[in-house]
Structure 1
Amino acid sequence: MYIPPAFREDELSALHETIRAARLCNFVTATDEGPVATPLPLFLDPTEGPYGTLYGHLARANPQWKLAAIGETMALFMGPDAYITPSWYATKHETGKVVPTWNYLAVHAYGPAEFFEDDERLLDVVTRLTRLHEEPHTDPWAVGDAPEDFIRAQLRGIVGLRMPITRLEGKRKMSQNRNAADRAGVASGLAASDRTSDRTAATLIPVTA
């Protein structure tokens, strides 16, 4: 990922927060048949390895897990993003020398992909993944709510994924390269948007000098 110095994010806690908040990633492998990508919900275990380890599962029918990966695999996580109109810049009214751009958060995780079929490991992964996403609900569903034989049958339709992260790249492009007046204009414009993602992005604009 191309990352100009002004937009580089190296803080591990911030990178992990973007991964957790993204919920869904694109899991990408390079193979002899070309690049292959699958949208996957993964969860991060920050205690495994220097950068953490990602876990999830794929459908057994998905050919990606059977295709030998060339080099590292990638998990691409996107945070809030927003179109930035030049009309929000104070500089537009001063010089007119402005163009549109896009603000966004992105984290690319790299590492080897380890696939597994062991029932107990699969059950652990789906239980942890389910608990993570059910926790905010007032009446959370648990894997144990379904009949055990039904769950065991469902497990036969998936394969597990473990991806120890060997390196992380983070990009936080939130108008840091603009002056204070332009950043304030962007924050104000995004905050007034009807789009939830725009309003979230507004909170990430550094409005102080």
Structure 2
Amino acid sequence: MYVPPHFAETDVEKLYALIENVALGTLITNGRSGLDANHIPFELNRTQGEFGTLHCHVARNNSVWSDVTNGDEVLVVFKAADAYISPQWYPSKHEFHKQVPSWNYLVTHVYGRVTVHDDERYVRGNVARLTRKHEASQPVPWKMTDAPKEHIDIMLRAIVGIEVTITRILGKYKLSQNKEIRDMDGAGTALVTQGDDVVGNAMLEQARKAEEK
């Protein structure tokens, strides 16, 4: 990924938070059948390994788990949000007319080594943890024990676990940091007004930080 210095996000804690908030990542592999991409909810363990570890599961019928070899390098992409940026939102455009449309976004790329876990204990633990996390906001959280044990056992046999030991994390927060503070603020305000809160608020935060320098 091309990351100009002014768009680089190097705060690992912020990148971990993005992964945890987004959860759904794009797993990109280059196995025996060539390039493949799968969209999978991941669980991040920040303290497992030097840079953390990602855990997930896929359908047994999905060939990705049998197409890779343990130790293969993989890439997982997490995108928090993106938004079109109109040059009309930049105050400087109305003075100098030297702005063009752009697109802003917040992404994290995770590089790592893959390990396949074709065992019931791993997938049961992964499903249980993902369920607890994503059901926590429900008035009555669903639990695995809400379904008959026999049914859960059948479902677990139909999936295979995948672990990604993280070797490198790369973050890119493209938020118009290469523009004037007033332009960053103007575009961020316009995004928030139209409901694109994630990118808009991130731009406003960057504008505030730039003002404090």
TM-score, normalization by structure 2: 0.93
Q: What is the SS of the residue equivalent to 1:136? A: coil
Does 1:13 pair with 2:10? Answer: no
Instruction: Tell me, in whole angstroms, the C-alpha distance in 1 between the residues paired with 2:176 and 2:99.
Output: 13
Q: What is the SS of the residue equivalent to 2:84? A: strand
Q: What is the SS of the residue equivalent to 2:207? A: coil
Instruction: Tell me, in whole angstroms, the C-alpha distance in 1 between the residues paired with 2:188 and 2:108.
Output: 22
Q: Equivalent residues in 2 for 1:98-109 (5 A)? A: 98-109=99-110
Instruction: Tell me, in whole angstroms, the C-alpha distance in 2 between the residues paired with 1:164 and 1:71.
Output: 10
Shift, 1:158, TM fit: 0.4
Shift, 1:144, TM fit: 1.6
Deviations 1:22-75 (A, max 9, x none): 121111101242211111000101110122110110000001111135951011
Percent sequence identity is: 38
In the alignment, residue 100 of structure 1 is paired with which amino acid? Answer: P
Shift, 1:202, TM fit: 1.1
Checking the alignment, whether the CA contact within 8 Å between 1:12 and 1:51 is kept in structure 2 is: no
In structure 2, stretches of 5+ residues that fail to align are none
Checking the alignment, whether the CA contact within 8 Å between 1:89 and 1:181 is kept in structure 2 is: yes
Instruction: Tell me, in whole angstroms, the C-alpha distance in 1 between the residues paired with 2:32 and 2:150.
Output: 38
Shift, 1:200, TM fit: 2.1
In the alignment, residue 110 of structure 1 is paired with which amino acid? Answer: Y
Checking the alignment, whether the CA contact within 8 Å between 2:72 and 2:114 is kept in structure 1 is: no
In the alignment, residue 18 of structure 1 is paired with which amino acid? Answer: L
Pairwise CA RMSD of aligned residues? 1.3
Other-structure match for 2:166: 165
In the alignment, residue 201 of structure 1 is paired with which amino acid? Answer: V
Other-structure match for 2:44: 44
Other-structure match for 2:197: 199
Q: What is the SS of the residue equivalent to 2:61? A: coil
Q: Equivalent residues in 2 for 1:21-60 (5 A)? A: 21-60=21-60
Checking the alignment, whether the CA contact within 8 Å between 1:79 and 1:105 is kept in structure 2 is: yes
Runs of 4+ in 1 over 3 A off after TM superposition: none
In the alignment, residue 91 of structure 1 is paired with which amino acid? Answer: S
Q: What is the SS of the residue equivalent to 2:9? A: coil
TM-score, normalization by structure 1: 0.95
Instruction: Tell me, in whole angstroms, the C-alpha distance in 2 between the residues paired with 1:74 and 1:143.
Output: 30
Task: Report which of the two has the higher share of helix.
Answer: 2
Instruction: Tell me, in whole angstroms, the C-alpha distance in 2 between the residues paired with 1:174 and 1:161.
Output: 33
Shift, 1:120, TM fit: 1.4
Other-structure match for 2:92: 91
Instruction: Tell me, in whole angstroms, the C-alpha distance in 1 between the residues paired with 2:124 and 2:32.
Output: 31
Instruction: Tell me, in whole angstroms, the C-alpha distance in 2 between the residues paired with 1:64 and 1:4.
Output: 33
In the alignment, residue 10 of structure 1 is paired with which amino acid? Answer: T
